[in-house]
Structure 1
Amino acid sequence: MKTFEELGLEHSIVTAIKEQGFQNPMSVQEKVIPVLLENNETDVIALAQTGTGKTAAYGLPIIQNVNTKKSHTQFLILSPTRELCLQIADDLSDFAKYKNDVKIAAVFGGSSIERQIQLIRNGAHIISATPGRLLDLVKRKVVDLSKITAVVLDEADEMLNMGFRDDLEAILKSTPDAKNTLLFSATMSSDIRAIANKFMFEPVEITIGKKNVGAENINHICYTVNAKDRYLSLKRIVDFHPEIYGIIFCRTKRETQEVADLLMKDGYNAEALHGDLSQAQRETVMNKFRHKNVRLLIATDVAARGLDVDNLTHVINYNLPDELKVYTHHSGRTGRAGKAGTSIVITNLKEKSKLRTIENQTNKKFEHKQVPTGDEICAKQLFHLVDRVEKVEVDDSK
């Protein structure tokens, strides 16, 4: 394993990232950083799961390559949601802690456009943006993409899933031909390949793990139940994991709210996240969840896209997803940064063939388990309580 210094990063950047707790490069960083530092004109397709260190993989070379003697925008990073857009801008600011002259701006919908316009007019070497808001600013002639050195498409598959293809194409057409394009995605779909063929030149492909396959350190578990017992089974599964901190994915906004309401009524520390919430409500829920004041986030797939939360212990699919890429994205939210995680599906007998398809395509086997009994839950919670008590430190001097 190489060190950050051996990858070619300058001392000020290495100092900043080590203060963030990074000691050694992760796999995607070790493969991508040298390519971007050695040749600024190389297009790159990197296939890696969320939580594998992608932001640093492109962010560190970008910070190093910024020409602070020029005030125009040089690097553009596009991502699917405001949460991820803000997270990327925050991470880059941390990486540039000792490069104070690097200016970074985040632009996204659902927030004051006037304030974002002012930020850009004050100078932004790097812009982290969602496609819709950026295109609006380009049309207003606030953002000039004519001198862009590189464009990063982060979670490109999610942006396409969310219907941003036309926006992405319009943005890419506004950038110069002599730039490099960096595409980061968890899966390689035909839509991703079409974008690459149209806007990239002989890209270097870097795959961490296998294409369209989830992380290796995730345990995949299946509980097969009758449809009428789905909610009761969910409660028992949650009860069996006293330290659970996770996301429960539901198919519809209505189902999401119903499950969240039932869990809260039954005394669980839960909140709903779906498209009917206002931006202010969404931010309140997300802040509670990030600070672990809420342990269970019940969410639709769309509402949770681009959501970036570390240290999730579990992802629970209240229903088996219809598509492999949806299951891959869901499960990839746990087991991040080398930590172990658990991905659970609650399914019924009619879905056996769909389950086998996911197993065959991911080359992973689900561990089939029985829903925990009341006695098993009581025993598990008792052992958990004893373990916590044993770890309590007592000051005998008082």
Structure 2
Amino acid sequence: MMKSFIEVDPKSHFPIQNLPYGVFRPLMMGGPRIGVAIGDYVLDLSVLDAEGYFDGTDVDGKGVFEQASLNEFMALGTKTWRDVRSRIQQLLHEDESILRDNYALRDIALIPQKNVKMLLPAQIGDYTDFYASKEHATNVGIMFRGKENALMPNWTHLPVGYHGRASSVVLSGTDVRRPQGQTKPANSNAPLFGPSCQLDLELEVGWFIGPGNERGKSIALENAEEQIFGLVLVNDWSARDIQSWEYQPLGPFLAKSFATSISPWVVPLEALEPFRIAGPDQEPEPLPYLRTNKPSSFDIHLEVNLQGEGMKNSKTISTSNFRYLYWSMAQQIAHHTVGGCNLRPGDLLASGTISGPEKEMRGSLLELTWRGTEPIEIENGEQRVWLEDGDQLTITGWCQGEGYRIGFGEVTGRVLPALKQSYTLSHI
């Protein structure tokens, strides 16, 4: 098994087999730059680039690691990503002396993660959220339309998605303010305005687009994975009561635009290759542009943990797996572009809520509590139906190898109370 000269715990998310990319700023001095996570450290790629360690690759002389986002690196494509990743693995290998024995360079290039501030990994121009878990779509459909009409007629024929709000994508650790909007309770004849009473999480995985495509030209399914720079964890917060009133006929709006949290480290698709598996059987067979014969999913274990205000420890409320997604990342990209939509470097696509076949595998409180009718126990008799002010959500995930993990770190967020607002009406 490949090992680094840097000691890495077997349960660490960041062994030499992973090397996720992120944007960071040292706490002591200096501006944003790009690094990779290795164990408890960040390897500063801008330092290695300045020392000439990426000579001969397509990043040489471009200054892509001195940027405040990964966009320029993402745009360079799969060959460059592979070359850079291979060079980093070589430099960090336990048998390679170039960096291992150069203590002066190590002091500059290797920074403890506790001594850096992580930033958003990309300048996100567009964000698309899909609805790709059949179990999730079925559960929601049963609640709102009944078992006989759980899935809409189009669901098994195409990856359903909607255009999200890129400006409110926030980094893990950012507090999330309870949104306000219109709701219409069943016992009310008219809509009411106020804070959402049904605030929810959504367990998702997202991926960043690399080079992208020209407007008017689609990305073929067999080439779609070449567009995936890497993956992150996503909590796409949702205000269910606002959504149920506003979503017809055009879909989510205020209920989904207030915050989407992502993890800071972007795991390269190449790091996940040992964990590639087949996704669920698709019936009916998709149309030719969505049809594939190769395994297109990955065995990624996912967990959601909730810690209420005053709780000493967090409680695991859901465990799921990326493998349950009915529509693959490649299929979602192919469908997204088949009409001529152009994807650009740094665009974020997300899976939609990932739920599994068992109750404990449901990726939202909407499902876990079955629309509020089955409260879940969290600690000392305390229950949850929806998220309460002060609750902190933590999503984590990893692929388990023999003696190592390919992990995503965490995406966390704490719920803050809604802002108090006053409104005055003036008549002219």
TM-score interval, normalised by the smaller of the two chains: under 0.3
TM-score normalized with structure 2 length: 0.26
User: If each structure's strand is expressed as a fraction of its own residues, which one has the higher value?
Assistant: 2
User: If each structure's helix is expressed as a fraction of its own residues, which one has the higher value?
Assistant: 1
Higher relative contact order, chain-length normalized (CA < 8 Å, sep 6+): 2
